[in-house]
Amino acid sequence: MYENIASFYDRNIGEVNYDLMAEFLHKAFVTYGKVSNTDERPILLDAACGTGECTIRMGAKGYDMIGLDISPNMLQMASEKPGAEQVMWICQDMAEMDLFGTVQAVFCMTDSINHLLEEEELQRFISRAFLFTELGGLLVFDCLTDTYYRNVIDGNTFYQEDEDFCYIWNGEYDGKMCDYDITCFQRTEKNNYMKLKDSVTERMWTDGQLRTALTAAGYSVVNTFSDLHFTGTDGKEERRFYVCRKK
């Protein structure tokens, strides 16, 4: 997943406000979880951390961070960034994660939940997160909704270009699965262009499906939001954020 275009990933999702995301997570952990402003550094897990942008920012906020991702290329990029030396990087499938101990909270952002394509896979991830989280700890994640896939992605083409880089991103949605075809062009030192292609599939999970999986694992849904400003949900949001507590 994104393995062929890992080196371009940060440029492709440049619209993500990671500073705001880290602040949202910090406030959620302090408000709803076991995290408090003490001298101890709570341990957090960033599941599907990608290139580590949010992981490193959370480390800078005073957390001991574990960054977990299935892609070696993504983790290699993450490990080369400033602040990465403070993070424990683990290459694992988040649905099969196996940690050395427990953490105070798990978070899984930038619609990584939508990359879980089967109900069994979704349940395994949530159950593994539950297993390795301390009692009363949180699972915080976001997901893209049917509104987003239908109104923003389906049948559309996205394009970005600058002096040495270009990508084209096509999306098709069938009401359950969304398939993306991604093509990147990168200018080389010889003034030629290197072409890289990748394909990604996401699944739209309904609120009911997610709540069923969370309840089965032992989580309670504390609250849901429609953005990183803690705005409530109305069923029309394009992205939904869940704050869940281990009972």
Say what angle helices 18-32 and 53-60 make with each other, to 10 degrees. 50
Helix or strand holding residue 23 (H, E): helix 18-32
Measure the CA–CA gap between 241 and 239, rounded to whole angstroms.
Answer: 7
The pLDDT mean for the chain works out to 92
User: pLDDT tens for residues 226-240?
Assistant: 999 999 999 999 999
Which distant-in-sequence residues (6+ apart) come within 8 Å of 165 by Cβ?
8, 11, 184, 185, 186, 187
pTM of the model: 0.92
User: pLDDT tens for residues 54-98?
Assistant: 999 999 999 999 999 999 989 999 999 999 999 999 999 999 999
pLDDT band at 189 (very low <50, low <70, confident <90, very high): confident
Alpha-carbon torsion, ordered 210, 211, 216, 221, to 10 deg: 120
User: pLDDT tens for residues 99-137?
Assistant: 999 999 999 999 999 999 999 999 999 999 999 999 999
Retrieve residue 188's tokens: 């080389």
pLDDT at 1: 54
Measure the CA–CA gap between 68 and 108, rounded to whole angstroms.
Answer: 10
Say what angle helices 119-131 and 207-217 make with each other, to 10 degrees. 40
Pick the residue with more confidence: 191 or 220?
A: 220
